[in-house]
Amino acid sequence: MAADLTCPDCGTVYEAGPDEPWRCGCGRALEFTERPHPQGDPLPLHSLDTSEGLWTFFEFLPIEQHVTFYEGFTPTVEASDWDARFKLEYVFPTGSFKDRGATTTLSRAVELGVEKVLEDSSGNAGASIATYAARAGVDADIYVPADVKQSKLMTIQRADARPVRIDGTRADVTTACLKAVEGDANDGDSTGEGSAPYQTGEGWYASHAWNPAFYAGTMTFAFEVAAQQGWTVPDAVVLPLGHGTLFLGAYRGFSLLNEAGIVDGMPRLLGAQAAGYAPIVAALGGDTTDAEGERTDIADGIQITEPARGTEIVDAIEATDGDAIALGGDAIETALDRLHRNGFYVEPTCAIAPAALEQYRDDGVIDADDDVVVPLTGSGLKTL
């Protein structure tokens, strides 16, 4: 039985099904009615069977395992040049952490009997959803910006998904996708009470920004970090911040472990946004451009001006004594060169986190002896 959906704001419950609303009638992103907690203490890593990757943590997940490559349990390695540990999230079937959410989202789609999924993405999430849809035998339409990177487009096409290229801004891509998700039954006014946007159009919205199934998957990032350091948490985690897919997943995962008494306390969650695309930094009252007042387009994976779960991201930052800062193109490019010279072949978007780590140290936000984990989120092989 697939878990039903509920709204954390107004409490409305929606029955699970292929036409379930993609968000609440009040406008808020939906959550599952169930939030499983593990029973008893987890095993130490050396006696944990991790052969099924992130599904090792099935007891924590409100979704049954249906669509998987046994992805996850990515390596965490020392990065002495940065005096930190890097978690290699680019070691996934499609080269990005988005596979954490795609395995759970497509598993949920199978639970619901969905025949076709729709997604909008700047590239990585689309490539991931397309790949897992292929694994599931489910059709997929992926809405992408007209200037999407060729390698990401290829991944989508070769998985026999249909890329739908949309001219305009990243927000225009989302609007076009939602129109197809909702079809004609919704009148476009889906913000009032009782007018939840049911998915009566072309397919089910496998959105990395809105679908709670995606965040169930990204939660496993936190479980792995904790397991890999003997069920403890680092002092801080520094992450790229667009829609907050990994950021909120990390928050939810560490919170669940903390509530269950498995770990003692929470890491500080420190976000990195690109100059000019920094709504969370703005919400916190920080500088949203670089030193010259410019924006940068190098971090194409996080050019999000209206994150679906912005309030939750700010709450997570405040709850963990975290922060968010905006980084300019020079800082990101310098960090990217340094990563590549050290053998970390990653994409530009993910270099923003190590760049932010340096800035946080310079600003005195992170102390020299703090234990810091930084996820490297996407492979350089898909940069072109």
Residues that bind Zn ion (CB under 5 A): 7, 9-10, 24, 26, 28
Closest to Zn ion by CB, 28 vs 338, is 28
Q: How far apart are CA 130 and CA 121, in angstroms?
A: 11
Q: How far apart are CA 326 and CA 152, in angstroms?
A: 26
Least distance to Zn ion from the beta carbon of 311, Å? Answer: 13
Q: Give least dist CB 16 to Zn ion, A.
A: 17
Closest CB to Zn ion among residues 24, 67: 24
Bridge pairing between strands 5-6 and 13-14: antiparallel
Compute the least distance from the CB of residue 193 to Zn ion, in Å.
8
CB of 26 or CB of 260, closer to Zn ion: 26
Single-letter amino acid code for the residue at 342: N
**Phi and psi of 63, rounded to 5°?**
-135, 140
Select 192 or 230, whichever has its Cβ closest to Zn ion. 192
Output 12 or 151, the one with its CB closest to Zn ion.
Answer: 12
Determine the Cα–Cα distance for residues 107 and 63; give it in Å rounded to an integer.
7
* Residue with smaller CB distance to Zn ion, 193 or 264: 193
Instruction: Report in angstroms how near the CB of residue 283 gets to Zn ion at its nearest.
Output: 21
Closest separation between CB of residue 23 and Zn ion, Å?
8
In angstroms, give the least distance from the CB of 246 to Zn ion. Answer: 25
- Phi and psi based region of residue 43 (left: phi greater than 0; alpha: psi -120 to 50; beta: remaining): beta
| Nearest to Zn ion of 9, 363 (CB atom) | 9
Contacts of 20 (CB under 8 A, 6+ apart): 5, 14, 112, 198, 199
Least Cα distance to 98 among 204, 237, 235, 249 occurs for: 249
CB of residue 28 vs Zn ion: minimum separation in angstroms? 5
CB nearer Zn ion, residue 26 or residue 283 = 26
Smallest distance, Zn ion to C-beta of residue 26, A: 3
